[in-house]
Amino acid sequence: MATISYMHDALDHVSDPEKCKRCSVRHQAVCSSLAPAELAVLNKIARKREFKAGQNILIAEEDMPYVATVVSGVIKLIQSLPDGRQQIVGMHFPPDFLGRTYGTKSRCFAEAVSDVDLCLFPKKEFENLLANYPDLETRLFQDTLDELDVARDWMLLLGRKTASEKVASFLAMIARRVPLQGCQHSSEPHQISFHLPMTRADIADYLGLTIETVSRQMTRLKTHEIIRLHDNRDITILNMDRLSELAGLS
Amino acid sequence: MATISYMHDALDHVSDPEKCKRCSVRHQAVCSSLAPAELAVLNKIARKREFKAGQNILIAEEDMPYVATVVSGVIKLIQSLPDGRQQIVGMHFPPDFLGRTYGTKSRCFAEAVSDVDLCLFPKKEFENLLANYPDLETRLFQDTLDELDVARDWMLLLGRKTASEKVASFLAMIARRVPLQGCQHSSEPHQISFHLPMTRADIADYLGLTIETVSRQMTRLKTHEIIRLHDNRDITILNMDRLSELAGLS
DNA sequence: CGTTATGTTGATAGCCGTCAACATACGTGG
DNA sequence: CCACGTATGTTGACGGCTATCAACATAACG
């Protein structure tokens, strides 16, 4: 299972001051709200860190002296009950920000779903930057407002949608967020192919279902020729309009 | 049902510059992060507005040129599906902040659960204040982070808790947030009395259940002598420890 | 080639939703 | 004052959706 491995083990400095310029998310991540001189300051405190799929990134109730930007890979945020039931309460894709400023402990677990590259910032120094660069704080604030909107959309899904609607909503959401595969300009319009970043168990924990129900709904979508399954992970959405209808977005 | 009535109808100016000083939430609301001179500026743009129970405060997808502080009463935030199913995604008590800065439209409906007093601020002018008073923005940012934590706790409830756990969790949450009634220093420890601010239908929409299931779980708690029902709305928690256990917080 | 992880499919059970009847409170108008 | 309608809440009978339990299939891996 998940190897225990904290965010602050085995850090590599971003020693090269030019490194930010070569970063794949430099134009989208929170750091893009900084002026060049400010970015140089951030560059000094930034550290790279890789996580293998399954590794813990944040531990609930434990001190976490870093915040981070997701450079590559996918991360899940997990809330859990004492008896082991768990619920995924957020997914982080590049170039999302990860971690909670103002307050030292995380309230959820965060685990790498795939191999992950993070760009870490010591929390204390990062908060100093926030105090000095209002644009950075505004940007982070806006990102948090967006996260709250996403969380509330998901609450509607968890509380009121059927299993069928949940799975359809999930696929529609993933299609919008993960990098797509293959030629998207085929003769068939609305066909979208992508690689699912997570297992059926993760999907179940994300949707408040069991893995069996997720599996059944997937085969149902396959039977109705709304999706095609190549590899359990590689999916083509054959009819995006129909999928959106099923998701309750019509 | 809910009377359509927008936030910007029938406004009263907070003409009196001393009015903020007499405000019942002045030491808790976001405005408490302002220095006296700054508060005077806020005072100038503030407007009082009352809403009757059932009135709409925010309409999804409509322009809303105000943000506000809840001075008294309770407000629910609602997400809904095209077919009418709905989910309450947030409750606002005094001295919470209401409305979304940065972005003109609301993504949820907000409706007064009880009679409500709001202190409104024109959004554009409020955002100017945010830009000039970093403490205010930091405060609002922190409040938003807290809201996000609450939303994620609720996602665990919606996705993974049973009806029994949901109702117990709800009562435990309400007991922490609404003003309590009567003498709390009785001979019986852990007895907490309060007035439920919402109907069974609201509770059901908050918990992702039906009103019948909520009702059955309430009588079940009553039968087990964990709560006492006086008036369908006036509740005494007889055994808070047991309730917390049932809520899955043990 | 066995072991483990992951996913699918079937049979069954149970929780909770649906439908219905009834109770109570409240306001309106006769 | 009472009749009536409406809103809210409770309780019961029943059914369906989804969880549970189980068997099996497939792939990855040492």
Instruction: Tell me the chain B residues in contact with residue A99 when contact means C-beta distances shorter than 8 Å.
Output: none
Note the pTM of the prediction, 2 decimals.
Answer: 0.92
- pLDDT recorded at residue A3: 40
* C-alpha closest to that of A197 among A217, A175, A224, A227: A175
Query: Per-residue DSSP letters for A85-118?
Result: -EEEEEEE-TT-EES-SSSSB-SSEEEESS-EEE
* Residue located via tokens 């991540």: A29
B60 in Cβ contact with B83 (< 8 Å): no
Cis check: omega of the bond before A95, within 30 degrees of 0: yes
* Residue located via tokens 């500026």: B41
Bridge partners of B105, per DSSP, are B63
What count of Cα atoms within 13 Å lies in the side-chain half-sphere of residue A50? 3
Q: Which residues touch strand D (CB under 7 A)?
A: A 162-164, 208-210, 212-213; B 1, 199-201, 211-212, 214-216, 218-219, 229, 232-233
Sequence-distant (6+) residues with CB within 8 A of A189 are none
Question: For A132-166, what is each residue's pLDDT tens digit?
Answer: 999 999 999 999 999 999 999 999 999 999 999 99
Q: Which bases along strand D come within 7 Å of a protein CB atom?
A: 7-13, 17-22
In angstroms, the CA B207 to CA B162 distance is 10
Question: Which residues of B lie inside 8 Å of A (Cβ-Cβ)?
Answer: 77, 79-83, 85-87, 89-90, 100-103, 107-108, 130-131, 134, 137-138, 140-142, 144-145, 147-149, 151-156, 158-161, 207-208, 248, 250
The secondary element (H helix, E strand) that includes residue B157 is helix B134-160
Distances (CA, A) of B123 to A195, A239, B142: 42, 41, 19
Q: What is the dihedral of CA A205, A209, A211, A216, to 10 degrees?
A: -140
Question: For B32-52, what is each residue's pLDDT tens digit?
Answer: 999 999 999 999 999 999 999
Tokens of A28: 């989208």
Regions of chain B with pLDDT less than 70: 1-17, 179-190, 250
Regions of chain A with pLDDT less than 70: 1-17, 179-190, 250
In angstroms, the CA A199 to CA A211 distance is 9
The closest CB to that of B141, out of A141, A155, A158, belongs to A141
Query: How many of the other CB atoms lie within 10 Å of CB of B102?
Result: 13
* Residue located via tokens 């095209």: B82
B107 in Cβ contact with B225 (< 8 Å): no
* C-alpha closest to that of A31 among A58, A64, A68, A66: A68
The closest CB to that of A141, out of B79, B82, B144, belongs to B144
* Residue located via tokens 């939303």: B151
The secondary element (H helix, E strand) that includes residue A50 is strand A47-51
